[in-house]
Structure 1
Amino acid sequence: MEAFLTAFDALPEGASDGRFEGRRYILSKSLHAGGASQKLVARAVDGTDYISLNLYRLRGGRALLRPCEMPERKVCDFVLGLVRDQ
């Protein structure tokens, strides 16, 4: 989870883009409740994939990952493997 959080925190708030497994994605990262809740939505430009997750920052430095209707492994692989366009 630590590597995931490091990669997730490196993503900028707002819109950005990048590549994962040969596909280009448009991303949107938003903060809610003063940063206690974060949302990431990513769509493949070619329309073949969609990623959506909520991340909750709990007391004591813990984090709770809640993918939206997809396996946790899928969102973790995406965040860890994403290469942002410069």
Structure 2
Amino acid sequence: MPKKTDPLPVPEGPSVDAGFLTAFHALPDGTHKGRYAGRRYVWSKTAFRNGKSWKLVADELGGTDYISLNLYALASGARLYPCEMPAAKVIAFVRELVIDQ
């Protein structure tokens, strides 16, 4: 039985491929608008821990869709943690998002 002072184990998130990482890091930090799957979104990307972790959230404009993920640069490789949605959904969003100019 773990002691109360022991940290809770963190499940390993799925690893991600180089294509996803390239697409993710090409997205600028800050809040922006863009298009995905024929719909418009406002999205924000924020870096934490000196660029070792990131949060991306997106809200569909005029709709109900929501995207949320955390990405961590770990010694074992990058790990993706979608927030209460399938990894495939957030991966597709990052890869296919077209930023408004």
Q: Shorter-normalised TM-score: what interval?
A: over 0.9
The structural deviation recorded for 1:59 is: 2.0
Residue 34 of structure 1 aligns to a residue in which SS?
A: coil
1:19 is aligned to: 35
Partners of 1:3 and 1:25 lie apart in 2 by 22
Please give the TM-score of this superposition, normalised by the length of structure 2: 0.81
2:83 is aligned to: 68
Q: Percent identity?
A: 58
Please give the TM-score of this superposition, normalised by the length of structure 1: 0.94
Larger Rg: 2
> Which sections of structure 2, spanning at least 5 residues, go unmatched?
1-16
Aligned match of 2:54 in 26, 38, 57?
A: 38
> Which sections of structure 1, spanning at least 5 residues, go unmatched?
none
1:81 is aligned to: 96
More helix as a share of residues: 1
Partners of 2:63 and 2:39 lie apart in 1 by 10
